[in-house]
Amino acid sequence: MLRLMRLSYVFAVLFFLTVAVQAQQAATPIRVAIVGLTHGHVKGFLHNLPTSQSAKLVAIVESDAALAKQYRDQYKLDPALFYTDEETMIEKTHPDAVLGYGTILEHRKVIEIAAKHHINSMVEKPLTTTVEDALAIRDAARKNNVQVLVNYETTWYNSNAEALKEIQAGKLGTVRKVLVRDGHEGPKEIGVGPEWLPWITDPKQNGAGALFDFGCYGADLATVINKGATPQSVTAFAQTHKPDIYTRTEDDATVIVAYPEMQAILMPSWDWSFAVKNMEVYGNGGTMFTVGPGNIISRYKGQKVESAIYPAPNLPQNQSNSLDYLAAVLHHQIDPKGDLSSLETNMVVVQILDAARTSIKEGKTITLKPLPQ
């Protein structure tokens, strides 16, 4: 009896020590390094970083000295943070994760270098420009047992989270159609920087034009709604309404993603009259429209009219922004599998975008099969 009591005491002590260690780890900011400064969304990261309790910036990699100086001066950053290549930075600083803020084409290289050193990655949307690169990224992640996540602005929208929650709970019945509108007036029109505009309008470095820049949001949501399933087919159409500005790629597209019981219609554009990120979900038990980051309009079967616009519930802190989410994943508080940011989800997103690009080029519907596991 005494021996059992002693063993119980030992196990209790070990349990509380484990809990204490996990709590301490969760309270410790993750060490992150930025790789690339040519993606303008890095400005939002640098703006939010001083108030973050989840992450600490330990390095920045940028080979363009003038661009590095511009950011160093603008955000009053320590010159010692800056490096010109990723390998040297990793060997010197050993971050917990790298954050990719270069071209989409560069994502594979950034992730593979980090993975080789057993370092996690989070890149800006979309994951990459081709299925071939996506498979190589997945191989690197698996081989080195690292996380690869993709940051979408819309992942942190209360409105999208609430819509996904209602879909998963069956409150809208069987979802038959999803329509996602994403875009703005155009990158040149909204004044993106000279380090950004040349590559985002280059189909090689960006994957396409508006199709990849904004089509990825809807493909991401459609994939999660369908629990990661590969769609049956993709049919896409594209136009360039402003050929004097966008000489190399489309500025408007429509993509029909077909599933056995549902269609997702993606409407990415650089030709909207204003910035928009909205989703419409049509189920046989109700409908739900997201209005920007935080609001919802709904109507359920049996109701005669749509509701007035109302605010969606707030997301938990560790799911409300990319830094807190990344820290929660690395601290093993969140399993990202199946999430909007997960590698598994974004393998399918790239497959959809790649098929849409082929559909536009060849003028036909592209049939899809699940990627090899």
CATH code of 102's domain: 3.40.50.720
Residues in the chain: 373
One domain, residues 248 and 108: no
Domain boundary among 153, 173, 205: 153
Q: How far is residue 49's CA from residue 40's CA, in Å, rounded to a whole number? A: 15
Q: Which CATH number does the domain housing residue 230 bear? A: 3.30.360.10
- pLDDT at 20 (0 to 100): 37
pLDDT on residue 49: 87
Check residue 263 and report its DSSP letter: E
CB of 323 within 8 A of CB of 54?
Answer: yes
Is 328 domain-assigned?
no
pLDDT of residue 17: 44
183 and 97 together in one domain: no
298 lies in some domain: yes
DSSP-derived pairing of the beta strands 97-100 and 30-35: parallel
What is residue 38's predicted lDDT score, i.e. its pLDDT?
98
- Counted domains in the chain: 2
What pLDDT sits at residue 48?
87
Q: Is residue 326 in some structural domain? A: no
The answer to whether residues 94 and 174 belong to one domain is no
Inter-residue contact 361 to 132 (CB < 8 Å): no
Measured CA to CA, the distance from residue 267 to residue 107 in angstroms comes to 25
Same domain, 80 and 171: no
d(CA 114, CA 149): 13
- Distances in whole angstroms, Cα of residue 264 to Cα of each of 6, 251, 253: 60, 20, 14
* Residues 57 and 160 grouped into a single domain: no
Amino acid at position 39, single letter: H
303 secondary structure, DSSP code = -
Domain match, 127 and 227 both = no
Q: Considering the domain boundaries, does residue 82 fall inside one? A: yes
Instruction: Please say which residue of 127, 153, 179 terminates a domain.
Output: 153
Residues 97/30, Cβ–Cβ less than 8 Å: yes
Nearest Cα neighbor of 277 from 295, 300, 255, 259 is: 295
In a domain, 270, yes or no: yes
In angstroms, the CA 167 to CA 284 distance is 11
CA 213 to CA 196: how far, in whole Å? 12
228 and 358 co-located in one domain: yes
**Structural domain includes residue 373:** no
Within 8 A by CB and 6+ apart from 332, the residues are 22
Residue 167 shares a structural domain with residue 269 = yes
Kind and range of the H or E element at 53? none
Residues 174 and 143 in one domain: no
Task: Give the residue among 346, 331, 354 at the shortest CA–CA distance from 123.
Answer: 346
45: tokens are 């990261």
> What is the DSSP secondary-structure string of 2-43?
HHHHHHHHHHHHHHHHHHHHHHHHHHSPEEEEEE-S-STTHH
3-state DSSP helix/strand/coil % of the chain, to nearest 5:
40, 20, 35
Print the domain residue range for 160. Answer: 154-315+336-367
Structural domain ending residue among the three candidates 100, 127, 153: 153
344, 338 contact by CB (below 8 A): yes
Report pLDDT for 258. Answer: 98
pLDDT score for 8: 57
Residue 18 belongs to some domain of the structure: yes
215 within domain boundaries: yes
Question: Using an 8 Å Cβ cutoff, are 93 and 58 in contact?
Answer: yes
Q: Are residues 123 and 161 in the same domain?
A: no
| Residue where the block lists tokens 């603008």 | 74
Bond prior to 126 in cis (omega within 30° of 0):
yes
Q: Are residues 135 and 160 in the same domain?
A: no
Per-residue pLDDT of the chain (373 residues; tens, 9 = 90+): 556 555 555 554 444 444 334 444 557 999 999 999 999 999 999 998 889 999 999 999 999 999 999 999 999 999 999 999 999 999 999 999 999 999 999 999 999 999 999 999 999 999 999 999 999 999 999 999 999 999 999 999 999 999 999 999 999 999 999 999 999 999 999 999 999 999 999 999 999 999 999 999 999 999 999 999 999 999 999 999 999 999 999 999 999 999 999 999 999 999 999 999 999 999 999 999 999 999 999 999 999 999 999 999 999 999 999 999 999 999 999 999 999 999 999 999 999 999 999 999 999 999 999 999 9
- For 193-285, strand residue ranges (E) read 233-239, 252-258, 263-269, 276-283
Whether residue 158 sits in one domain with residue 142 = no
**3-class secondary-structure state, position 282:** strand
